Amino acid sequence: MYRYLLFDADGTLFDFDSAETYAFDATCREFDIQPTEHALQAYKEANRQIWREFEIGTIDIDNLQVERFARFFVSQSIDRNPVDAGKRFTDHLASAGTLYPETIPLLDELRGRGYVLSLITNGISRVQRGRLKQSDTCGYFEVVCISEEIGAQKPRKEFFDTFFELARLSEDERRNCLVIGDSLTSDIQGGNDAGIDTCWYNPQGRMGDPEIIPTYEIGLLQELLTLLPPLR
């Protein structure tokens, strides 16, 4: 029976697309760049690629913040300073703690059912801490595990080992953990490698990967309530 729920943040509880669009628009306007849909999609593609590189350990978090804008600027032939743009984007993103509408009701219900909730996220500490504060969700989580703070990222086993230490979970208690996240390569692969069950949140109905198999798959966050009965 599960007791400890390890939630991913972006794309699972937090509406990252909305936050990213807001931060990109604000940054572009500061640097006199037209925040067109084409420009946004070009940035998102550069950002997706570089976060995948971060997951596999070929770039660190500091260089990631600069390099994603460097690549975006090159792709669009824009002459701006990627260091300054990366900093301002991070500032704007830290203030954008937009949650999905169902997030708070779900967290309230699960906590009421007796589950211990934690947050596990790849990300920049001041961004994630800022968004937690802005959304007033810090109090829901027993442990908040952020890759930059612990020096390891999902899906690496070191990330989950550090989480277990922070949560003070015994070997037996680890069997009662469930990872819930939207990324196969980060959340689900990481949970699988750590030997704990996983739930893939897949609202877009994306194709799976035969090499990364979740224990469960859901299309709506509320479906968790059918998997997780009251503990008390």
Distance between CA atoms of residues 130 and 199, nearest Å: 26
Residue range 79-106: mean pLDDT, rounded? 94
Question: pTM here?
Answer: 0.90
Residue range 119-141: mean pLDDT, rounded? 94
Local confidence band at 39 (pLDDT 50, 70, 90 cut-offs)? very high
Q: Are 76 and 133 in a shared domain? A: no
Inside any domain, residue 156: yes
Q: Read off the tokens for 23.
A: 């931060």
For this structure, is 79 an active site residue? Answer: no
Give residue-wise pLDDT tens across range 167-203. Answer: 999 999 999 999 999 999 999 999 999 999 999 999 9
Q: Which of 10, 15, 182, 187 is catalytic?
A: 10
What pLDDT does residue 52 have? Answer: 87
Residue listed under structure tokens 């909730």: 117
Residue 72 domain boundaries: 16-94
**Alpha helices, DSSP H, located in 37-81:** 37-56, 61-75
What pLDDT does residue 64 have? Answer: 87
Distance between CA atoms of residues 159 and 183, nearest Å: 15
Q: Which of 8, 15, 182, 187 is catalytic?
A: 8
Q: Are 187 and 106 in a shared domain? A: yes
Please say if the pLDDT value at position 232 is more than 80: no
194 vs 25, 147, 187, 191, CA distance in Å? 38, 16, 10, 5
Q: Are 124 and 210 in a shared domain? A: yes
Residue range 9-18: mean pLDDT, rounded? 94
Percentage of the chain surpassing pLDDT 90? 90
Average per-residue pLDDT for the chain: 94
Final residue of a domain: which of 94, 120, 149? 94
Percentage of the chain surpassing pLDDT 70? 100
What pLDDT does residue 57 have? Answer: 86
Number of compact structural domains in the chain: 2
For residue 10, the domain's CATH number is: 3.40.50.1000
For residue 154, give the 3-state DSSP assignment: coil
What pLDDT does residue 55 have? Answer: 85
What pLDDT does residue 145 have? Answer: 97
For this structure, is 60 an active site residue? Answer: no
Final residue of a domain: which of 76, 94, 112? 94
For residue 65, the domain's CATH number is: 1.10.150.240
